[in-house]
Structure 1
Amino acid sequence: MRVSRVLSCLVLLLSPMVWACSLNIAYSDVASPPHLMGDGPAIPEPPGIAVELVQHAADALRCSVKWQRLPNRRVQRDMEMGLLDAMLMFSYNEERAAYAVYPMKDGKPDGRLRLAELRYHVYVADSSPLVWNGKQFEPLPATVGVNSGYSILADLKKMGLVVEESRSTEQNFQKLRLGRIDAYVMQDAPADLVLETMNIRGVHKLPVPLSAKDYFLPFSKAFYKTSPEVAERMWEEIGKASRSHLKELTKKYSDAH
């Protein structure tokens, strides 16, 4: 009996720590394939690479996840109000850092623990004279469309551009074709998919990317204050899952498309 008790204690001491927890995570209800699949409030199957990476990390920590999909600005508002534990697929900026905690290293977001790196490209009408040379837009002035709540909006305003927000990628492409905006700036993977699936003509992508951003699973400051170990372990597990499963997941979603 004493031997078995000693062995049980040794197993507990030598076993890695396991976090039993529940997480309330929200993300945009607008598709960003292959990372976030489908539009609307439903969680589709398959849900997207980013969702699968986070679910894998949560399973490794034995954490249950309550997923919900909301408009992008609603996700950020609920996060700021402390109604969420984390929000999925958000890049770092100072505004979000006021209410959300990101994985950091040497004062900067730690790219090793990202969910994805996405490139923003500029889309224009075929007849448009507007160009992006990697540093500036010409000719100006120009009105640029973006999806509501996306961080690229602030970057474009700093360039002195007039920026208009719309609910979806489809709406922005419609505005571009109707001449209501001079350009549309969006992550190229979901934008290219909309162009293809909706057979949109008269629009093309400029070759030089506007920017590239890392996307993370930031936690609310309230959650991080009470459960910093869970947040840190989640980020580490996301990094592990990305390194071990990303190629397999990329192929899965490529085959599905």
Structure 2
Amino acid sequence: MLLPLAMQSVCAAVPLRLVLNDQSSPPYLLGNGAELENPPGLVVELVQQAAQACDVSLQVERQSSLRQLQSLRTGNADAVPLLSYSPERAQYASYPMRHGQPDPRFRLTTLAYSFYVRKGSPVRWDGKQLSGYRGKVGTDLGWSVAGDLARLGIAVENAVGVATNLAKLRLGRIDVYAAQDVLVAALLQGDHGLVALRPAIVTKDYYLPFSLQFSQQYGQVVQCMWQQTAGRRAVLYQRRGPSYGN
């Protein structure tokens, strides 16, 4: 279902299909499934402001993490906010780059991944080595943290959805779950039966990448969107953050 997010002149504005994740990530993206909450999240507000400044007409669809990547790869999505950079994704998505690396000046935010275990678990993590667990570490299909775990020599068991993985962890079907902190926090909501191990596995910058097809056709629009989100990010987050309890 497509939801109009910017009321602009159809004749003048460039249409942009924005595909958001279908899981809530407070305070950046709110609402689960097809619907956004009101307010919709700091990143959504930031992209809306940038779109208005760049004369872009937004249409948004919500999809699962894996389907988002497929849509970006095929060009069925023009842009997907809140994606971290990886060389694999850069083969089909355009990121703001500088000296061959993603440029953190144009990030939407910075987020952390952590290991989650049952309270009282013997699992230990010292920042370099994970020990005391059986089987494989749970994670979500399509998440970049799977690559980080592979580099640590940790085998993963993929599932679709944070709620599914948390249920597996509670039931003892997995001993450890590697997940993005903001996504887990949105679902735990005071449930102290599961805890995060510190330090974080990895901290990553998250961007607004565009499909290669859109970037080739509307290169100036892409640059405008990146410039506008970077220029407005700090002020908007500071001003609107309290509305999200942030």
With the length of structure 1 as denominator, give the TM-score of the two structures.
Answer: 0.86
Aligned ranges 1:206-217 → 2 under 5 Å: 206-217=197-208
| Counterpart in the other structure of 1:220 | 211
| Counterpart in the other structure of 2:39 | 46
CA-to-partner distance for each residue in 1:93-119, whole Å, 9 max, x for gaps? 011101000001111111111111001
CA-to-partner distance for each residue in 1:127-157, whole Å, 9 max, x for gaps? 3211111112123665211122211112112
The Cα of 1:125 is off from its aligned counterpart by 1.1
Give the total of aligned pairs: 235
| Counterpart in the other structure of 1:126 | 119
- Using a 3 Å threshold, how does the CA distance of structure 1 residues 111 and 69 change in structure 2: closer, same or farther? same
Question: Mind listing any 5+ residue stretches in structure 1 that lack a counterpart?
Answer: 1-18
Matched, 1:162 2:155: yes
Q: Secondary structure at the match of 1:164?
A: strand
Matched, 1:193 2:165: no
Aligned partners of 1:247, 1:59: CA distance in 2, in Å?
20
The Cα of 1:167 is off from its aligned counterpart by 2.2
| Counterpart in the other structure of 2:227 | 236
Aligned partners of 2:186, 2:74: CA distance in 1, in Å?
34
- Using a 3 Å threshold, how does the CA distance of structure 1 residues 249 and 142 change in structure 2: closer, same or farther? farther
CA-to-partner distance for each residue in 1:53-105, whole Å, 9 max, x for gaps? 11110011121100110111111111111112111110000111010000011
Contact 1:142/1:161 (8 A) holds in 2: no
Contact 1:141/1:161 (8 A) holds in 2: no
Q: Secondary structure at the match of 1:209?
A: strand
| Counterpart in the other structure of 1:148 | 141
Contact 1:24/1:67 (8 A) holds in 2: yes
Aligned ranges 1:1-257 → 2 under 5 Å: 20-139=13-132, 142-196=135-189, 199-254=190-245
Q: Give 4+ residue runs of structure 1 displaced > 6 Å after superposition.
A: none
Q: Secondary structure at the match of 1:124?
A: strand
Question: Mind listing any 5+ residue stretches in structure 2 that lack a counterpart?
Answer: 1-11
Rg larger in structure? 1
Aligned partners of 1:122, 1:108: CA distance in 2, in Å?
27
Aligned partners of 1:227, 1:138: CA distance in 2, in Å?
49
Contact 2:137/2:177 (8 A) holds in 1: yes
